[in-house]
Amino acid sequence: MPFYRTMGSVPPKRHIKHRRSGNSHLDEGIYYEHVLTTEGFDRVYSITYHLRPPTRVVGTSLLRNVELEAAEDLPLRVHHFMSANMPRGGDFIDGRVPMMFNDDLVAYRCRPAEQQSMLFRNAAADEIIFVQQGSGKVETTYGTLPYRRGDYIVIPRTTTFQMVADDIEKEDYLILESNSPCRVPQQYLNVDGQMMLGAPYYERDLHGPTELNPVDKNETTTIIVKERHRLTKVEMANHPLDVVGWDGYLYPFTFNAWDFEPLTGTVHLPPPYQQTFECDGFVICTFAPRYLDHHPEAVKVPYAHSNTQADEVLFYVDGQFGSRKGVEACSFSFHPGGIPHGPHPGTIVGSESHDRTEEMAVMFDTDHPLTITKEAMEMDDPQYPLSWIDE
């Protein structure tokens, strides 16, 4: 995060006694400091203060291993994964369906059928949850974080949280599990860390937790902890969402895709102009409603191109995507490096009379090749690679 926040009760200095009135539950008379750091102690961090120590584990057990199964014997080709009607199942934790992965990330679809009943913590990855449909709140170590349709919910690793949906039958997510921190792109920040004038969004568009509601329960509470492919059931002696105050630069936040201010030019601007977040090994871009290119001879859909060093995935959110036919909300198009792709036949002419597009899509571009899962291939449109043949 590029800016500092504080909530609740914190002492005047770090690492000193944060005294509490009355009797402490452990008779030590203080709130318990917990420092959460990134990249060792070298990057952003936050400090939280708990009613009880965050270390009171009373039991652990391996819940299960979640192995990613690669689809085998696939030719190099483009793909269209149609996930709109993927059956609902499970909750936010076990309802995740892996679509593709590499050493930098795993991309999941999740259409839960049940509310999340246990707390969850990803110990080894940041989670970027895009809300295709739904609304509710995330109860976190740092407080309550409301969310709505179109939000990116960015949750730093080791954050304990629980998704609480307003209506579970409406919830629909794209989840990117990043093995590196998710950051605001460096090119949007000045040397002082403030977002620059002209950036496509601003600090006001990033929304952190709105209130702290520390849970004062000295009773056994379960957390499901994910560490890469391993799920561990951790039993705590007390409820871990017992933070009375915190400050720092590391905390969960939301950014709504419809708040992105897209840049346009006289001719087509490539995807880096729509970049929203950066992680090691991939970037996330937002294709938001925008005016189209306005040179009198402009081709208003993207030119054909080959990703010579990147795999490109688009997740379609809303509207009619100008350069594609046959895609719908919740479709993925997957265009791997090494082969060309471009506008579908007829879309160049079809775009000539348009001044705007109301499309919304989320894109992630990876530095390293993605592996497609068996689950994704069950949603694959086998005719998509042939869809550039003139009708």
Q: How far apart are CA 7 and CA 258, in angstroms?
A: 27
Report the amino acid identity of residue 99.
M
The 8-class DSSP code of residue 75 comes to: -
Q: CA 159, CA 243: separation in Å to the nearest integer? A: 12
From the candidates 268, 295, 335, 344, which is the catalytic residue? 268
Q: Determine whether the annotation assigns residue 305 to a binding site.
A: yes
> Which residue, among 108, 179, 128, 164, has the nearest Cα to 367 in the 3D structure?
179
Q: Are 294 and 266 in contact (CB under 8 A)?
A: yes
In 3D space, the residue among 260, 309, 307, 256 whose CA is nearest the CA of residue 281 turns out to be 309
Residues 260 and 276: beta-carbon distance below 8 Å? yes
> Annotation-wise, does 294 bind a ligand?
no
Q: Is 354 a catalytic residue?
A: no
Centre a 10 Å sphere on the Cβ of residue 205 and count the other Cβ atoms it contains.
16
Under DSSP, the state recorded for 313 is E
> Sheet holding 119-122: strands in order across?
57-65, 230-236, 221-227, 119-122, 160-165, 136-140, 143-147
Confirm whether residue 34 is marked as ligand binding. no
Rounded CA gap, 96 and 174, in Å?
9
Binding-site residue positions: 305, 311, 341
Query: Residues with catalytic annotation?
Result: 268
Binding-site residue positions for Fe cation: 305, 311, 341
